[in-house]
Copies of this chain bind each other. A is one copy, B any other.
Amino acid sequence: MEFVNSRKDDLPDLRVNIGSLKIANPVMTASGTFGYAREFENLMNLHRLGAVIVKGISLYPRAGNPPPRIVETACGMLNSIGLQNVGVDRFISEKMAYLAELNIPVIVNILGDSLAEYQEITTRLCGVPGVAGIEVNISCPNVKKGGVAFGTDPSMAAAVTEAVKERADVPVMVKLSPNVSDIALVARAVEDSGADSISLINTLIGMAVDLKTRRPVLANVIGGLSGPAIKPVALRMVYQVASVVSIPVIGIGGIETAEDALEFMLAGATAIQIGTASFVNPRASEEVVEGIGNYVISEKLPSVRDIIGQLSVDLQ
Contacts and interface: CB of A to CB of B under 8 A. Distances in A.
B66 A231 contact: no
Contact of A207 (B179, B235, B254, B307): B235
Nearest to A238: B207
Contact of A214 (B205, B215, B266): B266
A220 B266 CA distance: 17
A246 interface: no
A152 B215 CA distance: 30
A181 interface: yes
Interface residues of A, number: 53
A226 to B, nearest CB: 10
Given A214-B266, A215-B312, A316-B66, A205 B221 contact: no
How many copies the complex holds: the figure is 2
A38 to B, nearest CB: 30
Contacts of A1: none
Interface string A200-233: 0000111111010111100111110101111111
A231 B73 contact: yes
Contacts of A213: 312
Contact of A215 (B215, B221, B313): B313
B225 A233 contact: yes
A44 interface: no
Contacts of A209: 235, 263-264, 266-267, 311
A166 interface: no
Contacts of A207: 232, 235-236, 239, 267
A78 interface: yes
A76 B229 contact: yes
A68 to B, nearest CB: 12
Contact of A181 (B181, B231, B232, B312): B181
Contacts of A232: 73, 76, 78, 204, 206-208, 223, 225
A180 B231 CA distance: 18
Given A180-B181, A209-B235, A209-B267, A316 B204 contact: no
Interface of A: 66, 73-76, 78, 152-153, 179-182, 204-209, 211, 213-216, 219-223, 225, 227-233, 235-236, 239, 254, 259, 262-264, 266-267, 307, 310-313, 315-316
Given A74-B76, A209-B235, A214-B266, 20 more contacts: A74-B75, A74-B254, A75-B76, A75-B228, A76-B232, A78-B232, A153-B181, A204-B232, A206-B235, A207-B267, A209-B263, A209-B264, A209-B266, A209-B267, A211-B266, A214-B310, A214-B312, A215-B311, A220-B315, A221-B313
